[in-house]
Chain A
């Protein structure tokens, strides 16, 4: 099997990897904001629950979380799981996990904004929601973009963890082909794929950072 053939065979897997990547971001970026708001809540119980949640998500391996979410319904509730649940389990596990990381990034960003900004907005009559969306959040974005980039790059590589529940993303496929062909080439192709993917991510994030560089 030629390298080109291997790449072609990996193509559907690549699409799945990109899909995991995009769906995770679509859910975890907003969810992270919600969690960050809860984490900063004055309500002690909410704050405590969120803290425990974040601690678990960050303190245990994503692979383990993936297995728990995939097999949990069966082991705990005896619900039979069909293979279509794989995709859902991957999306849930990744989104919940990444939301926790994003939440902490948002929180540190929000807390780093000088309180004078809030006070100036208050005096000018902005309410809490207006202050957040027109004054605080735009400044937070600029500050946290480098940290977000780090997480996004990690996410690209983490998508390969979906192999642990045999979800047919690119890495799972590469492993399968490598075993079948007793060849290293699928892994080389996989490596190149992740590398290029991340180079693209880095490029886009750099563009975004440049775009926000109009003020300091």
Chain B
């Protein structure tokens, strides 16, 4: 079953077309990585998928729920309430974490499930503690974000997203604010999630990681999908642009 389907997505900023007819389909349990040079539109695509940005044209369907329809060449959004409902389908992990600094780790994780999803407090606490344990942070439950390392913050923000029980989790360069050692700990967390069959879309510059973890990779350049295929095929691509982009990566190997 498709968790997410985005078709013919177009998005411009100030008359500059940043996304030019993008399709993104994600099956349940699939891990899709998006790579591409800076400014190619990766973040914009994730922001459209997570309703932080409105697309100009194209449609978007989460689990059969058409949140955005394309009518007469224009994206038409469902009403605000339905958009709010659609937020329940996904989670987003930000590059710079965006934890709430005035709340401790546990409150950061438990806040929305209790307040927004109106779930039972004890049940949420158990899930939160379980997630923290999984992240190796059970002793940090009462700490405040300012007392954590970048890698720990990012693990908390992943736990926060997971505690909402999303059907799909988006990552926008989850490690690019981190040192190399801390990067590794986050990448391992994501690999564990992949092993648990979490559906994920990951924008990353970590090529080795993307190659390891992804079922499918998308190479974007200049607002278009240049290639979309398995990691093996992408890394052995004949496409000139793909080769040019991955060339830098091959050189580093």
B→A interface (CB under 8 Å): 50-52, 84, 87-88, 90-92, 94, 96, 98-102, 111-112, 115-117, 144-146, 160-161, 164
- Given A119-B98, A124-B160, does the pair A215, B111 have CB atoms closer than 8 Å? no
| Closest residue of B by beta carbon distance from A130 | B115
| Bound CA–CA A127/B115 (angstroms) | 11
Given contact pairs A116-B94, A214-B144, a sample of 6 additional A-B residue pairs in the complex whose CB atoms are under 8 Å apart? A123-B92, A125-B84, A126-B112, A130-B115, A138-B102, A215-B146
| Closest residue of B by beta carbon distance from A127 | B84
List 25 A-B pairs, Cβ < 8 Å: A114-B98, A116-B94, A116-B96, A116-B98, A119-B52, A119-B98, A120-B98, A120-B100, A123-B52, A123-B87, A123-B92, A124-B87, A124-B111, A124-B160, A125-B116, A125-B164, A126-B116, A127-B84, A130-B115, A130-B116, A139-B101, A215-B101, A215-B145, A215-B146, A216-B146
Q: Are B91 and A125 in contact (CB under 8 A)?
A: no
- Given A119-B98, A214-B144, A215-B101, does the pair A124, B116 have CB atoms closer than 8 Å? yes
- List A residues 107-163 near B (Cβ within 8 Å): 114, 116-117, 119-127, 130, 134-135, 138-139, 142
Q: Are A134 and B111 in contact (CB under 8 A)?
A: yes
Chain A interface, number of residues (Cβ within 8 angstroms): 21
Q: Are A123 and B50 in contact (CB under 8 A)?
A: yes
| Bound CA–CA A106/B121 (angstroms) | 33
| Bound CA–CA A216/B147 (angstroms) | 9
| Closest residue of A by beta carbon distance from B147 | A215
Cβ contacts under 8 Å, A130 to chain B: 115-116
Q: Are B52 and A215 in contact (CB under 8 A)?
A: no
Cβ contacts under 8 Å, A121 to chain B: 100
Cβ contacts under 8 Å, B94 to chain A: 116, 119-120
Q: Are A142 and B102 in contact (CB under 8 A)?
A: yes
| Closest residue of B by beta carbon distance from A122 | B52
| Closest residue of A by beta carbon distance from B112 | A124
Q: Are A126 and B115 in contact (CB under 8 A)?
A: yes
User: Which of A123, A126, A214 is B91 in contact with, Cβ under 8 Å?
Assistant: A123
| Bound CA–CA A125/B111 (angstroms) | 10
Cβ contacts under 8 Å, A123 to chain B: 50, 52, 87, 90-92, 161
Q: Which has the most chain B C-beta neighbours within 10 Å: A124, A125, A135?
A: A124
Cβ contacts under 8 Å, A125 to chain B: 84, 87-88, 112, 116-117, 164
Cβ contacts under 8 Å, B102 to chain A: 138-139, 142, 215
